[in-house]
Amino acid sequence: MIVKLTLNGRPTELEVDNGELLLDSLRNAGFLGVKRGCETATCGACVVLVDGRPMYSCVLFSGAMEGRSITTIEGLGTPNDPHPIQQAFVDEAGVQCGFCVPGIVLSTKALLDENPRPTEAEAREALDGHLCRCTGYVKQVKAVLTAADRLAGEGRADG
């Protein structure tokens, strides 16, 4: 079946099998930033934005994405021109092995689109659906707050 959707801002048609998961369709289409982790919507490695909301692609059927807008990490920035959120994660050392980071960055994007000035508690809550074995989340939360500051064009008075 053919699914018509917007993928990283571009009208796209994906040929998918009946019952195929979005995670598999995206990886088959070359979007390798979407990672296979737990396959139970627990770890967050497969998170993409669906109509601007973070969702686990490991439990979404591709056929249900007809007409939807999907954003993967590849749609956010490039190595030569990273999105400010991506740059904040690099600058704050919020990236270690990189496996979980694409989903975390996309959840950060959704948070900052909805709430441009989150508190530390709100940042932690937004990252709650992600498991990271390399960090204690401190630097990732700092990266969220740094990205918020940079996108707002100002320094944060509380830290």
Give residue-wise pLDDT tens across range 94-104: 998 889 999 99
What pLDDT does 158 receive? Answer: 46
Residue 157: inside a domain: no
Residue 27: inside a domain: yes
Distance CA 47, CA 107 (A): 8
Give the SS3 label for residue 134: coil
Going across the sheet that includes 47-50, the strands are 10-15, 2-7, 69-71, 47-50, 53-56
Tell me: the pLDDT tens digits for 43-94? 999 999 999 999 999 999 999 999 999 999 999 999 999 999 999 999 999 9
Q: Are residues 129 and 90 in the same domain?
A: yes
User: Do 88 and 147 form a contact (C-beta atoms < 8 A)?
Assistant: yes
Q: Are residues 114 and 53 in the same domain?
A: no
Tell me: the pLDDT tens digits for 14-56? 999 999 999 999 999 999 999 999 999 999 999 999 999 999 9
Distance CA 78, CA 72 (A): 12
Q: Which residues contact 4 (CB under 8 A, 6 or more apart)?
A: 11, 12, 13, 66, 67
Q: Are residues 89 and 117 in the same domain?
A: yes
Model confidence, pTM: 0.94
Range of the domain at 99: 84-152
Q: Which of 24, 47, 75 is the last residue of a domain?
A: 75
